[in-house]
Amino acid sequence: MALSQNLLFLSCLGAISTAIPTTPLLKARQFGSVSNPNDTVDVSGVPECAVANCVTSGEWIPARLGCHTGNLTRECFCQTAVAPLTCSPKAPSSEDNCFYELQTWFSGICGQNAVRIADLSAIPDCGRDCTAAMITEEDCADDSLNCICQKPEIYNKTATCLSQACSNTKVFKYLDDTPDHFAYSWYTILCQTGVQEPFNEAGYQSWINNGKWSHSLKVGLGVGLGIGSPVLICLWIIVNFTS
């Protein structure tokens, strides 16, 4: 081969050896320890405005919070439950203090480390800042799921953020999804489980970088991978792109 072909061949082998795909891991929030986790939560101090909706209604029955304990323990209420304050009679608003009073009581019971925060790493980078700003505008300044999961309009606004902020990218072609459906799935799963799969930025960038290759090249790569030979893949590239 000519010198330029040799360099291309070596570069190709190096790229193949390092471009090993990885599966993103679910990123769970790491909670701080809760003192006396087996103690029963004393609900006598719940703000009066929330007693009917949260206490007497049975919203805090352990089974409803995803717990397998007979009593409402600190571990159940503060760590297992995803968003126990969604029973608040009114969503967080600057016009009503009930949620914020309930939030203050919750922090006194559980401590700040027990508050589940929305992990925005699942949002594509192009729309993350817009989504964070929108959540703050919705009176969820602390990004807690207790707040966010009471406001289903957040996923609509997230979809708008993504449509606008990511309009010049191919991110949704990469995801094979639409902004509306992606935002709805992100919001629903987050409020059900408290965790979401981070957006694979490295995978997206790799997809973008390889997007300029022709369909015939992808077929050639598939054949090469099928017989397990990176050398043949690189030789195929040399023949087709330097001749």
Q: Sort residue 196 into left (φ over 0), alpha (ψ -120 to 50) or beta.
A: beta
With H, G, I as helix, E, B as strand and everything else as coil, classify residue 37.
Answer: coil
d(CA 132, CA 141): 9
Q: What is the mean pLDDT of residues 7-18?
A: 43
- Please report, for the chain, how many H helices and E strands are present, in that order: 12, 0
Local structure of residue 93 (DSSP, 8 states): B
Rounded alpha-carbon distances, angstroms, from residue 108 to 37, 72, 86, 207, 229 = 14, 16, 17, 47, 61
Local structure of residue 200 (DSSP, 8 states): -
Show the CA angle centred on residue 9, arms to residues 6 and 11, nearest 5°: 110
Identity at 81, one-letter amino acid code: A
Q: Is the CB of residue 79 less than 8 Å from the CB of residue 32?
A: no
d(CA 220, CA 236): 7
Rounded alpha-carbon distances, angstroms, from residue 55 to 47, 61, 238 = 10, 9, 70
pTM: 0.70
Identity at 126, one-letter amino acid code: C
d(CA 143, CA 120): 9
Kindly report, residue by residue over 132-152, the tens digit of the pLDDT.
999 988 888 788 999 999 999
Q: Which two tokens stand for residue 47?
A: 């703000």
d(CA 141, CA 166): 24
pLDDT tier at 233 (50, 70, 90 boundaries)?
low
Kindly report, residue by residue over 179-222, the tens digit of the pLDDT.
999 999 999 999 999 888 899 999 999 998 987 543 334 444 44
Cα atoms in the 13 Å half-sphere on the side-chain side of 10 = 6
Q: Is the CB of residue 82 less than 8 Å from the CB of residue 30?
A: no
With H, G, I as helix, E, B as strand and everything else as coil, classify residue 110.
Answer: helix
Q: Is the CB of residue 131 less than 8 Å from the CB of residue 166?
A: no
Q: Which two tokens stand for residue 175?
A: 């995801």
Kindly report, residue by residue over 33-59, the tens digit of the pLDDT.
567 888 999 999 999 999 999 999 999
Report the pLDDT value the prediction gives residue 160, as an integer from 0 to 100: 95
